[in-house]
Amino acid sequence: DQQVKQNSPSLSVQEGRISILNCDYTNSMFDYFLWYKKYPAEGPTFLISISSIKDKNEDGRFTVFLNKSAKHLSLHIVPSQPGDSAVYFCAASQGYGQNFVFGPGTRLSVLP
């Protein structure tokens, strides 16, 4: 049972444009969400997080939006850079200090 879904396995975007990565979840008890980025042959690295009390969190070029009613979150990268090319994992938990459930990832390619 996939509680966290990333339905787009891959996404290609032109450099300088916006990248939008989507994530859907099924467990209404999830209230803490995060995004990790992974380069080939490396482990995932933490990117940004959001708790359910917010609907937006911004960190530089990265913004995460949360729509609790739709059980949907998205990661916006503006402007996209070639160095952003990586696999992005969405993850969710039922609160701080609880186990995270990861999605399968979306491979982002930013074309120069």
Partner 1 sequence: DTAVSQTPKYLVTQMGNDKSIKCEQNLGHDTMYWYKQDSKKFLKIMFSYNNKELIINETVPNRFSPKSPDKAHLNLHINSLELGDSAVYFCASSQLDFSYEQYFGPGTRLTVT
Q: Which residues bind partner 1 (CB under 8 A)?
A: 2, 32, 34, 36, 41-46, 49, 89, 91, 93, 96-100, 102-105
Nearer to partner 1, 13 or 64 (CB): 64
Nearer to partner 1, 34 or 73 (CB): 34
Half-sphere exposure of 65 (CA within 13 A, CB side): 11
**Smallest separation (angstroms) from partner 1 to the CB of 55:** 18
Q: What are phi and psi of 93, to 5 degrees?
A: -145, 165
What is the rounded distance in angstroms from the CA atom of residue 34 to the CA atom of residue 29? 15
In the numeric block, which tokens belong to residue 58? 């911004």
**Smallest separation (angstroms) from partner 1 to the CB of 42:** 5
Q: Which amino acid is at 71?
A: K
Nearer to partner 1, 14 or 26 (CB): 26
